[in-house]
Homo-oligomer: A and B are copies of this chain.
Amino acid sequence: MKTVEGGVAAPKGFRASGVAAGIKPKSTKNDCALVVSDTASAVAGMFTTNVMKAPPVVWNEEVCAKGAARAVFINSGNANAATGERGFRDARATAEAVANKLRIPIGEACVCSTGVIGVPLPMDRILDGVTRCVESLSAKGHGDAARAIMTTDTVPKERAYEVALSSGVIRIGAMAKGSGMICPNMATMIAVITTDAAVDAPVLSNVLREAVAGSFNCISVDNDMSTSDTVLCFANGAAGLPAIAPGTPDFNTFKTALDSVCRELAKLLVKDGEGATKLVEITVSGTQTDAEAKTVARAIGLSQLCKTAFFGQDPNWGRIVCAAGYAGVPFEPGRVALWLEDVQLVSQGMPAACAEADAAAAMKRPEFRIRLEVGNGPGSAVFWASDLSYDYVKINADYRT
């Protein structure tokens, strides 16, 4: 598996584009993106579990249920959420415009919207965006697309891999956006993954579910699950290789690559989280099950007190074991051990004899790891969290003003 250029357009048969259509208020930044497969493509999706899910999410769920789609149009600047019946009509009208321009069935066009909640889509600008996105589609348009889906993100987020299967080479490309309301429980805000591997929709759906569980569902910037979280994965088979069958070595190779893409993007989202100055990798082990370990790691990653200590570069292990303690998972306090990088802070539930200054020094890096052992059970999990900074408060107290 090697990293290549090209983002979502790296796999064969995919093109992309991004344009500025004036949907982001008072801005000339890109705000419409389009990703298209030139041929028929399987699709799988993972979506927010928020009751207030936005109309585009409902539309995409219907598309993904059928397992085939050739395009996804994404606008930033407006989430088309809490927009009632009009929101559903607008999502459908957008999909219809995309389908007409591309001459594909309307049921094969996905649409995503991200941005402010509760304001109807400016449909004239959206339709203008659709037209211009279709006109500017190219294999080189991936960067424009990745920039067009940004909201409070400070950098575009793309990855592409080349993966050697037994029958030949396939590629996986991806882009994603954050960077607030990030605590997905099904998928992150928006991520689009493309591959020229041939994968049947049900297989793709299973592999995607597992990849998301270990990546986008293991991160938190601010504990707030959005109304629009969406991960879409397109597989068009344009590499010309046989379909990847579950249980084969190629299946495992593909799965590993997809897991890796999702994890890379998930970490990029945390790293670029609103106001984030730290990317903290939290590993918990020794629970009875992996799910328990994830629950504990998540409690630490969501704790405001831990996150402010990360920001303050303070190895305040008391807050970490405290958060572990209220996660709802039973464990023996006397068995708890904690490391910050290589510095052991806690042993048998009590302060370890350590140079806390070494731990504080490690926390000065932009990325560091925490490892918590709570027993000798076989369960383990990894979670990625940002810190909680002044800038997070500033960004979110001033968001609309």
Interface residues of A, Cβ cutoff 8 Å to B: 48-53, 79, 81-84, 116-119, 180-181, 185, 222-227, 302-305, 308-309, 311-312, 314, 316-319, 321-327, 329-331, 333-334, 336, 346, 348-351, 388-390, 392-394, 396-401
Chain B CB within 10 Å, residue with most, of A312, A316, A319, A393: A393
Chain B residues with Cβ below 8 Å from A324 are 51-52
How often does this chain occur in the complex, in copies?
Answer: 2
CB distance from A372 to the nearest CB of B (A): 12
Q: Is the CB of B390 within 8 A of A49?
A: no
Contact B312 A401 (CB under 8 A): yes
Beta-carbon contact of A394 and B390 below 8 Å? yes
Name the B residues within 8 Å of A398 (CB-CB). Answer: 312, 314
Q: How far is the CB of A327 from chain B (nearest CB, A)?
A: 8
On whether the beta carbons of A51 and B325 are closer than 8 Å, the reply is: yes
Neighbour of A117 across the interface among B51, B318, B389, CB < 8 A: B318
Cα of A82 to Cα of B348 in the assembled complex, Å: 9
A379 to chain B, nearest CB (A): 15
Smallest distance from the beta carbon of A248 to chain B beta carbons, Å?
Answer: 38
What is the minimal beta-carbon distance from A293 to any residue of chain B, in angstroms? 14
Quick one: which of B81, B303, B314, B350 contacts A397, CB cutoff 8 A? B314
Q: Which residues from chain B contact A318 at a C-beta distance below 8 Å?
A: 79, 81-82, 116-118
Nearest-CB distance from A49 to chain B (Å)? Answer: 7
Select the residue from A51, A225, A392 with max chain B CB neighbours within 10 A: A51
Assuming the A-B contacts A118-B318, A308-B397, A349-B82, are A303 and B223 also in contact, with contact meaning beta carbons closer than 8 angstroms in the complex? yes
Task: List the B side residues contacting A349 at CB < 8 Å.
Answer: 52, 82, 84
A311 (CB) vs chain B CBs: closest residue:
B397
Q: Give which listed residue, B302, B325, B392, contacts A52 with CB less than 8 A.
A: B325
Residue numbers in B under 8 Å from A397 (CB-CB): 308-309, 311-312, 314, 389
**Complex Cα spacing A251 to B401, Å:** 51
Q: Which residues of B contact A333 (CB under 8 A)?
A: 51-53, 82
**Shortest Cβ distance from residue A311 to the other chain B in the assembled complex, whole angstroms:** 5
A17 to B49, CA, bound (A): 52
Task: List chain B residues, Cβ under 8 A from A83.
Answer: 350
Separation of A82 and B337 alpha carbons in the complex (Å)? 11
